[in-house]
Amino acid sequence: MQPRRVTRQLHVGSVAVGGDAPISVQSMTTTKTADVDGTLAQIYALAGAGCDIVRCTCNEEEAAEGLAQIVPRSPVPIVADIHFQYKLALAAIEAGVQALRLNPGNIRKADHIKTVAREARDRGLPIRIGVNAGSLDPDIAERHGGATPEALVASAVRELDYFREVDFDDVKISVKASNVTTMIDAYRLLAETVDYPLHLGVTEAGPPPAGIVKSTAGIGTLLAEGIGDTIRYSLTADPVEEAQAGRTLLESLGLRERKGVDLIACPSCGRAEIDVIAVANAAQHALQARNLPLQVAVMGCVVNGPGEARGADLGIAAGRGKGHLFVRGTVVRVVPEAEMVSALVDEAEKIVEEGIEARLAAADVNAEAIAAAEREQLVELRGTNVNHSDERIERIREIAQP
């Protein structure tokens, strides 16, 4: 392994990228972003699989409105993927995303690019310049005789120049190609040209196993040369497979630690009924000491918690002075708040001994009905707009108007 290349550092929400930050794993949701619950369920599944940052498409106004509701409830930072309409980048910023990805081949007007960069600069938001061999700006492709490594880097450099004109350099860059050798050469050239953090990926790698082999060849080669700060496998598969593959590559190269108990926790939002950080820390401590090989979720509210984390083996969600213990999204017991962590540990031990199906069969028959009644009460008490998403959606509608 070559020493890691020295890069600047930026922050995508709580996740540092570049510098001495751990190399992060990214993936992208395949749901419609306007489908808030479906997208959040996929984001939680990705977080559970070891994904650090999730990208969601922002391809229409409804997607931006969805982001306004997704971001406050996502356990990991969200990047909005923007392709053709710069106004959707502005709408995504308004929705509260932690970063943008712009494709220079698709948004080409200098004024539009600079407008987005200015807004990102003023809000302290990073942008990934996401060059893609398949959608390269035609004049650059023509000058270089196609989507060569030099052409991919030239596209990134031109976008950087626009950004610099408005004093914006909170940037990471990708130069992806589906041809592995082109991708490797493009990143090597880019690494010699700039000191920004690099996001590695082989684009459109296809379904596993070939897609995994191609991605590993490209990403793994560069990581071994010390190039790369964040990675994404682009597979024609469930995105959870992308996250698992990325995580496995980093672990096998000794670039990320292997995990024991896998604890995921919601970020807490206007709906939280408990101090999520304190409960998550207590649960992590207790579960780690017992080394139980489970994925466990700690969720701040019963209104959305069990649904958002339904992919977890086990979880606890907070109600009013109570905890709803759930197994694979089904509430199996309602316990006093003071017993949330001990009930979680107790259930985790039983799942390891008896299995998920047996614990679902042993569920308190009244638990789901009690839980449903409490969820209704909470929505009535706190309303539906606890994260002030409605106000953001109003502003998005103004911004996105033609």
Under the rule (CB under 6 A), what is the footprint of ligand SF4?
Answer: 73, 266-269, 271-272, 299-301, 303-305, 308
State which residue, 91 or 274, has the beta carbon closest to ligand SF4.
274
Q: Cα separation of 24 and 364, whole Å? A: 40
Nearest distance, CB of residue 318 and ligand SF4, angstroms: 8
Q: Hey, how many other C-beta atoms are within 10 angstroms of the C-beta on 165?
A: 13
Nearest distance, CB of residue 178 and ligand SF4, angstroms: 36
CA 95 to chain centre: 15
In the complex, residue closest to ligand SF4 by CB: 300
Q: What angle do CA 383, 389, 24 make, to 5 degrees?
A: 120
Q: Cα separation of 141 and 147, whole Å? A: 6
Provide long-range contacts, Cβ within 8 A and 24+ apart, for 163-170: 163/113, 163/114, 163/117, 163/127, 165/114, 166/114, 166/117, 166/118, 166/121, 167/121, 168/117, 168/118, 168/120, 168/121, 168/127, 169/196, 170/10, 170/120, 170/121, 170/124, 170/125, 170/126, 170/127
State which residue, 72 or 149, has the beta carbon closest to ligand SF4.
72
State which residue, 147 or 298, has the beta carbon closest to ligand SF4.
298
State which residue, 130 or 305, has the beta carbon closest to ligand SF4.
305
State which residue, 193 or 281, has the beta carbon closest to ligand SF4.
281
Nearest distance, CB of residue 75 and ligand SF4, angstroms: 8
Q: Cα separation of 64 and 308, whole Å? A: 20
Nearest distance, CB of residue 265 and ligand SF4, angstroms: 8
Nearest distance, CB of residue 250 and ligand SF4, angstroms: 27
DSSP-assigned beta bridge partners for residue 322: 336
State which residue, 220 or 270, has the beta carbon closest to ligand SF4.
270
State which residue, 18 or 75, has the beta carbon closest to ligand SF4.
75
Nearest distance, CB of residue 341 and ligand SF4, angstroms: 17
Q: Cα separation of 201 and 176, whole Å? A: 6
Conformational region of residue 127, where left means phi above 0, alpha means psi within -120 to 50, and beta covers everything else? beta
Nearest distance, CB of residue 270 and ligand SF4, angstroms: 7
Nearest distance, CB of residue 327 and ligand SF4, angstroms: 17
State which residue, 129 or 378, has the beta carbon closest to ligand SF4.
378
Do 29 and 43 touch, CB atoms closer than 8 A? yes
Q: Cα separation of 4 and 226, whole Å? A: 4
